[in-house]
Each structure stands twice: as C-alpha cells, then as structure tokens.
Amino acid sequence: MLNSSSSAIRILHITDTLSSGGKERQLVELLRGFNKIDGFSNELVVLSDDIHYEEVRSLGIKIHIFKRSQKWDFRIIEKLCGLARQYRPNIIYSWESMCSVYASPIALIFRSALINGMIQNAPLFLNWKDYTYRRLLLTAPFSTVILANSLAGLRAYRVDGKKGLCIRNGFDFDRINNLPDVDDVKRSLDIRTKHVVGMVGRFHRERDYSTFFKAAKLLCDERKDITFVALGEGPDLESFRGRLKCDDQANIRILGARKRVEEIIKTFSVGVLLTDTRYHGEGIANVVMEYMALEKPVIATDAGGNREIVKDGENGFLIPFGDEKALALRIREIVDRPDIGSGFGRAGRALVEQKFGIEQMVQKHAELFRRLANGNRALSFEV
C-alpha cells in the first residue's frame, strides 16, 4: 500500500530507462514490493521514454519522464532540483552511473541520503577507460551508500567498507506460475530432442557465446539427443546468426529476443551463462536465478558474482572462461546422469527460496531506507 502521509519515508528513484533488462526488472519488482508496505512513498524519474515494463504504470506511484537530449544534459539537474524542492526526498536512489552524476548535487543541496546503485557487475580489471569506474570515483564522496548486488562487485570497484553495501537481487516466484506444458512449448519451437541446453543473454562481447556454440558443435557432432538454444538480442545477434547458417547445424538454434523466456527455460535440461572475462564480470545475474527457480542445473563461468550463487558441484558447475571442452564435458555429465541434474535443480531452487527471493530483497531495502531516514549511516558490507 502506498503511504503518502507526511510521516512516510520519501524515496526518489532515478534510472536511465525501463528497457528490457535485469536491473530494470529489479527496480520494478522493488517498487511493486513497496506497494505492500506502509510507511514509504516512492516516486520515479526515468531519463527517457523507453519503458518496456509497462506494469510500472499500474503501481500507483508518480512517474516523471525527464527525457535528456544527450548524455551530459545539464537541464536534467535543473528539473531534478525542481522536483526535489517539491517532493523533499529523504533518500535519492540512483540506479545508473550517469544518474548518480545528476543526483549528487541534488542530494547535497537538499540534504538527502544518496544511494549510489550503479554497481551491477564485477570486472576483473579496472582502468580509466571504464566510464562506470570514473563516475564512481566522481560521485563516491557525495554517496551515503554505494550499493552493489554482489560482494564481488564491491571488491572489484574497491569500495570503501564504510560506504559499501550488498543487497542481492531477488526473484519473484509468481513469474513462473501457470507456465504452459513443456511438451507444448517444445512443439511450438519444433524441438524434437530429449534434452535442451540453453543460454539466455545479450549478444554482446560481454557474453561468451563463442564458447557456447563451439561446445554445442562438439556435442552435436557426436550425438543427436540435444538441441542447443540461445535467447537474447544485441549488436552481435546477426553476426552469430550468419556464422550459424554457414555451419548448418540443425540442432543449434538462435531464437533471438523472446518476451516469455521462462516458458522456454522450463524446457531446459541445463541452463548456461558464459561470460567473456576480458570485458565483463558478473554480479548476481538474474538469469541464473531464473534457471534455479525453475530447478535447472547451471553451468557458468567461474568469475565474479557467479561464485556467490553457483555452488560448484552442489547446484551446478563453474568452468574456466573460453573452455568449450570443459563445457561439453559438464553438459554430458548432467544429461547422462539424471540424478545429478535433478539434485542440482532442487538445490538451486532451495537456495533462491532461502536467499534470493523478492521478499528478502524488498525487506532489506526497507531496513536500509529506515536506517538512512533515521540518520544511521553506519553500515556493513551486507544487510
């Protein structure tokens, strides 16, 4: 329930977009969760008119569209200043690095606590070419809390322990209620094999699709009971489609962007997430939580926040970056040993229920908001 009384803790959220993405989904789920808690008032600023998650409009909160004409649009600061003068937020919550740049002077002027939530990954190497790192250094002095979704992210960005805080992403199990029958989904995709091995992620240099397809080719050359599917959009999508067409592999599919990915994940025997560690380090990836919530064993690159959710040999396997032979070996092990796959799936589901549920994420944010509104700035690395 939205509480608009003068005694409510007022939070102003600022994000670049509400396009299709894990961070954007977490923001919408958080706002939805706070509709059920008294004592909080939330308003949202979006710096574009790109809103994929239309359900945010039904949550009963005020949404302000401040569309910027370019990355450094200083008119945004003027608009935020006017809004803050009217709303008087106790807390400003920035969800993006550029949003933190805009929010820092506003928080200073209006004496609001600033939650700097730009850290969503855990890079292995930092350098001045990384705009997120530069903006973090710029905005850290103005930030009350620097929030990450993984401990690996805080360590990677060398966040001061007095300001750093980890609240991990949460999964809403309502998303997987009433999914269609697996056989019906497989028929709709013309998948006739016993097993489906899938990877969900953007076709971008941060994702290691090259290793995924190399392992797929190795296994498709030796057996005919597995179909490999890849779901996602991105700048490299057509390039991979062209290469796959040349290989002419019937049991390797690129499905592109899909709205109801949960329906397809339900068909998986194995869920894969591979990262190119030269360019990216995972925080807590939403798709890994989706795999586990649907009781799918996971194979992921051994780096970053993956180690905080994938327990090697318990709910999945961690493999070295770029090792298609290791990936093929682990896929064989899971599909040829049903007891391993089902055991990993149950363990993954239990972990998400215990530590990565949407309720836990909402309650930890509520605790943080209360502490900040009461002037308690002493934090630990994990709430």
Contacting residues for 348 by C-beta, under 8 A, at least 6 apart: 291, 292, 293, 295, 296, 297, 298, 315, 316
In terms of phi and psi (left: phi > 0; alpha: psi -120 to 50; beta: otherwise), the region of 311 is beta
- Domain 9-170+357-373 matches domain 174-355 at the CATH topology level: yes
How far is C-alpha 253 from the geometric centre of its chain's CA atoms? 24
Confidence grade of residue 70 (pLDDT, cut at 50, 70, 90): confident
Average pLDDT of the segment spanning 262-274: 98
Residue-level pLDDT at 202: 92
Confidence of residue 383 (pLDDT cuts 50, 70, 90): very low
C-alpha span between 98 and 84 (Å, rounded): 18
Tokens representing 143 are: 């930030």
SS3 7: coil
pLDDT of residue 250: 85
Domain 9-170+357-373 classified CATH 3.40.50.2000? yes
- 3 state DSSP class of 124: coil
Tokens of 184: 């019906």
Give the model's pLDDT for residue 3.
47
DSSP class of residue 203 equals S
CA-to-CA separations, 374 to 2, 73, 289, 368, 377, in angstroms, rounded: 20, 33, 33, 10, 9
**Residue 379: pLDDT band with limits 50, 70, 90:** low
- pLDDT band at 1; cut points 50, 70, 90: very low
| SS3 category, 179 | coil
- What is the bridge-based pairing of β-strands 145-148 and 164-166? parallel
Average pLDDT across the chain, whole number? 93
At residue 380, the pLDDT reads 53
Comparing 32-46, 111-125, 203-217, 238-252, the range with the smallest average pLDDT is 238-252
| pLDDT tens-digit series, residues 150-183 | 999 999 999 988 899 999 999 999 999 999 999 9
- Asked whether the beta carbons of 66 and 76 are under 8 A apart, the reply is yes
pLDDT score recorded for residue 375: 85
Q: Alpha carbon of 285 to those of 149, 151, 382: distances in Å? A: 9, 13, 18
Q: Using one digit for the tens of pLDDT, what is the confidence trace for 115-154?
A: 999 999 999 888 878 889 999 999 999 999 999 999 999 9
The residues, any chain, with a CB within 8 Å of residue 189's CB and separated by 6 or more, are 229, 253, 255, 264, 267
- Can you name the CATH fold of 174-355? Rossmann fold (3.40.50)
Residue 369 has pLDDT above 60, yes or no: yes
- pLDDT for 382: 52
Beta strand extents in the chain (DSSP E only):
9-15, 40-46, 62-65, 91-94, 113-119, 145-148, 164-166, 195-200, 226-231, 252-256, 270-273, 298-301, 316-319
pTM above 0.85, yes or no: yes
Q: Locate 383 and state its tokens.
A: 């709430």
For residue 4, pLDDT over 60 is answered with: no
- CA–CA gap between residue 327 and residue 330 (Å, rounded): 5
Domain boundaries, the chain: 9-170+357-373, 174-355
Taking residue 217's Cβ as centre, other Cβ atoms within 10 Å add up to 18
Whole-number Å distance between alpha carbons of 175 and 318: 26
